[in-house]
Amino acid sequence: MATSSSAAATASADRRVIQIPLEPGLLCLRGLSPRRLRFEVEYGLERGTSANSFLFLPPPAAPDSLGHAAALLVHPPGASFAEPYLEQLAELVPSNGELQVVVGHVNPNRVALLRQLAQRWSKLRLIASNPGAQLLRELWEQRRPSGPGGEGAAADAGAEGEAPAPLPPITVVRGEDSIERPDGYRITLLSVPTPRWPGGLMAFEDTTGLLMSGKFFAAHLCSEAWAEANRSSTEEDRRYFYDCLMAPMARQVEAVLNRVDELPIRTIAPGHGPAIAESWRSLLVDYRRWGESQERSKLSVALLFASAYGNTAAIADAIAQGVARTGVRVESINCEFTPADKLLEAIRHCDAFLIGSPTLGGHAPTPIVSALGTLLAEGDRAKPVGVFGSFGWSGEALDLLESKLRDGGFRFAFEPIKVKFSPDAATLKGCEETGTALGRSLLSAQRKAQRRTSGGGGLSESRSNPAVLALGRVVGALCVLTTVKGEGESRLSGAMVASWVSQASFSPPGFTVAVAKDRAVEALLHVGDVFALNVLAAGRETGPMKQFLQPFAPGADRFAGLALERSPGGQPVLPEALAWLEASVKQRMECGDHWLIYAQVSSGALLDGAATTAVHQRRSGANY
C-alpha cells in the first residue's frame, strides 16, 4: 500500500497547469501530465495527456448586481489536476465573485472537482445539457467506493471528511443556447449527446471562431504548444483516440459532425491535446472517413451498458475497440439515456449482444434490468451474447445477467468478464482481444453462410482472379515479431508470425512489416514503440511457427514456457532464430485491412551465418 501511495504522490507531483493567453480576457488553462492518468484504453499510447479548459475573465467594466463581474469557465478538468488548477483559478477569479461553469462532460472525476469549486466559490452556477444535469444530480452526493490505490480510488479524496457543498444551481441547455457576455464575447452552447458521453456539450465563441469541442477531436498528448505544428504531427494520436472511443458510436459522431459543419470555425480546441488551427477541415474529413468502414459493415454488435464510476464504461470501450478492429460495426447504447425504441431496434437487428453493468448496493441499475428484460423478450437465441462489468465487493449484478441469459437459452460468446474495482492494463488488453475474437467469429459465420447460399465448394471470385494468383507469388521472409511494453501492472506483450516484411531504407537502416488490423499485437506497434523481428531459418521454422500460429485465449501470454533471450532494449529474442533485429516504429500507413509499419533498426545480430532464410510460399494473394 505504501508503494501505491508513493506512486500516486509521484504522479500527482508531475501534474501542473499552465496559462495560455488566447484573446483579451480569454485564457486556456491547460493541465499537463507526462504520465498516463488511468488504464483506460484511450491512454494506451502512453504519451501523457493535457486537459484544456477555457476561462473568460470577469470584465471589470460590467459588474453584476452584486458588485462583482461574472467569470465563465468552460470544460473544467477532472480532480486529477485539482491542486494546481484550483490554485491558479483562485488567483484569476475572486472567491466572492460569480463563477459560471459550462460542464461539457460529466463523470465522477469531474464532479469531484466541481464539489471543490463549490466549496470555494459560493456563487457558483453550473451550465449543462439536460442529460448532463441529470448526471450531476445523481453523482453529486455519491462517493466512489474505496478500493486499491490509484487514480480511480483516489478521485474523490480531496474532500474526504468535509461535508459536501450543496449542489449549485444548474442552467439546463436543451439543444442549443447562447451566452451574451458584457465583454463582447458570445458563446453558443450545443448539446451533443452520445452513448459514451450523454451529457456532451460543445461551446463555440462566435467572434473568434473558437470551437471548444470537449471529447471530440481530442488526443492524449502532453504538449505545452497551444496548437499542433501540422496535421501529421498529431494524426496518429487523434486516430487512436477516435478508434478507442468514437468508432463504437460512428452514427452519432456523424450527426455531431453535421452540426459542426454549420459553424464558422477558425480553430478547434478539444478537451485534450493541442488545438487544431490550420487543418481542422481535414480533421473533419478524416473523422468522416474513419467512420465509413463501420457504416459499410453488414455485421453489428449491440453494446448495452451503464456505468456508475466509469469502470464498466472502460471495459466497454476496450471490448468495442477489439470488435471494431475486425471491421464489425458496434452499436454503443447507454441504457440510462437511450429511448426504448432505439434499444429494441438494436436488439432486433444486431448480430450479437453484449451487456455490461456495475453493481450498486448489491443490485444492477434499473435501466440495465429493463434492458435485460427487453433482451430476454426480443433477443434471438441463435445470436451470441456476452456479459461484462465491474464491482466493488460482490458483483450480484453480473451474476444476475449471466444466470438470466443462460436460463433464457442464450449462447455465450465468452465467459463473463468480471472486474473488481478498476481494470488494469492487462485486463483491458484481454478485453480488447475478447472483442476481436467475437468479431472474427461473426465474420467466419458470415463467410460460411455465404458459401452455403452460393453453392459452396469452389474458390471465391477473388481467389481465382489471375492478378490475385500472381500476387501470391510475391514471397517474403518468415519471421516472428515479438514485443514487450511497460513494466509491472502495466506490462503488456505480444507476438505474431510475419511474412510481409521488406527492407525499406539503407540510411538509416529500416524495414517495413504489414500487420493486420485485427492482430492483438497491433496495439503495441505505434510510433515510438520498440519490437524485435526474429528471422527464421529454413528447416528450423516449424517450432516457432507452431508456437505463434496457435490460437491464444484473450489475454494469454504468448511467451509462456519459452526460453528467451533479450535484445539491448529488452525485447524478446528467439534463440533458434537465424537473425534478429531490434527496431522502433517511425511511421504507420493505413493500407486497407492492414497497417504498414516502418521501423528503424537500432541493433541486431546474425545468430547462424551458415543457415538460409525461411521463405513463405503462397498459392494465392487472397490469404496468408
- Are both 333 and 280 inside the same structural domain? no
Q: Is residue 623 part of a domain?
A: no
Which is more confident, 141 or 369? 369
Q: What is the CATH number of the domain that holds 165?
A: 3.60.15.10
pLDDT at residue 455, rounded to an integer:
62
Please check the confidence at residue 129 and state whether its pLDDT lies above 50.
Answer: yes
Q: Where in the sequence is the domain holding 391, given as residue range(s)?
A: 297-442
DSSP secondary structure code for residue 165 in this structure:
P
Domain final residue pick, 426, 442, 458: 442
Strands of 530-535's sheet in order across: 492-498, 479-485, 530-535, 579-591, 594-606, 510-516, 501-505
Checking if the pLDDT of 152 tops 90, the result is no
Whether 237 and 284 share a structural domain: yes
pLDDT tens for each residue of 308-336: 888 999 999 999 999 999 999 999 999 99
Mean pLDDT of 209-223: 97
Share of the chain above pLDDT 70, in %: 92
Q: Which of 395, 427, 442 is the last residue of a domain?
A: 442
Sequence-distant (6+) residues with CB within 8 A of 106 are 128, 132, 135, 136, 139, 199
Q: Is the pLDDT of residue 110 over 90?
A: yes
Asked whether 458 and 469 are in contact (CB, 8 A), the reply is no
403 and 343 part of one domain: yes
Cell of 531: 519490437
Q: Is 455 a member of any domain? A: no
Res 11 pLDDT > 60:
no
* CA 589 to mean position of chain CA atoms: 20
What average pLDDT score do residues 220-228 get? 96
Contact of 439 with 301, CB cutoff 8 Å: yes
pLDDT tens for each residue of 438-452 = 999 999 999 888 888
pLDDT given at position 458: 47
- pLDDT, tens only, 259-317: 999 999 999 999 999 999 989 999 999 999 999 878 888 999 999 999 988 899 999 99
pLDDT of 230 > 80? The answer is yes
Q: Is residue 458 part of a domain?
A: no
Residue of higher predicted confidence among 9 and 404: 404
Whether residue 345 sits in one domain with residue 245: no
Domain boundary among 292, 315, 337: 292
Q: How confident is the model at residue 161 (pLDDT cuts 50, 70, 90)?
A: very low
Q: CA-to-CA distance for 592 and 516, rounded, in angstroms?
A: 9
122 is a domain residue: yes
> What is the pLDDT at residue 301?
97
Share of the chain above pLDDT 90, in %: 79
Per-residue pLDDT tens for 391-435? 988 889 999 999 999 999 999 999 999 999 899 999 999 999 999
**Cβ partners under 8 Å of residue 511, min gap 6:** 501, 502, 503, 504, 505, 533, 581, 583, 598, 599, 601
Does the structure show a pLDDT above 70 at 13? no
Mean pLDDT of 10-16: 71
pLDDT for 144 beyond 70: no
- Cβ(315)–Cβ(433) under 8 Å? no
pLDDT, one tens digit per residue, over 443-493 is: 999 988 888 876 655 445 576 788 999 999 999 999 999 999 988 878 899
The verdict on 498 and 524 lying in the same domain is yes
Give the pLDDT band (50/70/90) at residue 145.
Answer: low
CATH number at residue 583: 2.30.110.10
Q: What is the pLDDT of residues 529-538, one digit of tens each?
A: 999 999 999 9
In tens, the pLDDT along 586-595 reads 999 999 999 9
Are 270 and 310 found together in one domain?
Answer: no
Q: What is the pLDDT of residue 61?
A: 54
Which residue's entry shows cell 441469459?
A: 405
pLDDT of residue 153: 36
Is residue 149 predicted with pLDDT exceeding 60? no
The Cα 347–Cα 354 span in angstroms is 10
Residues 200, 160 within the same domain? yes
Q: Residue 164 — pLDDT band, cuts 50, 70, 90? A: confident
**Whether residue 146 has pLDDT greater than 80:** no
Q: What is the 3-state secondary structure (H, E, C) of 76-115?
A: CCCHHHHHHHHHHHHHHCCCCCCEEEECCCCCHHHHHHHH
- CATH value at residue 370: 3.40.50.360
Summarised one tens digit per residue, pLDDT across range 53-68 is 999 998 775 444 444 4
The pLDDT value recorded for residue 460 is 53
**Is residue 459 included in any domain, yes or no?**
no
**Is 8 among the domain residues?**
yes
Question: What pLDDT shows up at residue 4?
Answer: 42
In this predicted structure, the answer to whether residue 611 has a pLDDT above a threshold of 90 is yes
Q: How much is the pLDDT for 463?
A: 66
Average pLDDT over residues 8-26: 82
What confidence score (pLDDT) does residue 157 get?
A: 36
| The pLDDT value given to residue 66 | 41
Does residue 266 lie within any of the structural domains? Answer: yes
Total structural domains within the chain: 3
Q: Is residue 333 part of a domain?
A: yes
Residues 122 and 180 in one domain: yes
464: helix, strand or coil: helix
- Compute the distance between CA of residue 67 and CA of residue 98 in angstroms, rounded to an integer: 10
Domain shared by 394 and 541, yes or no: no
Instruction: Show Cβ contacts of residue 249 under 8 Å, excluding neighbours closer than 6 positions.
Output: 194, 195, 196, 330, 332
Tell how far CA 362 is from the center of its chain.
29
Output the pLDDT for position 456: 55
Same domain, 198 and 78: yes
Residue ranges of the alpha helices (H) in 261-337? 280-296, 311-325
Within this chain, do residues 351 and 399 fall inside the same structural domain, yes or no?
yes
Instruction: Specify the higher pLDDT residue, 153 or 205.
Output: 205
Report the pLDDT value the prediction gives residue 622, as an integer from 0 to 100: 86
Please check whether residues 220 and 365 belong to one and the same domain.
Answer: no
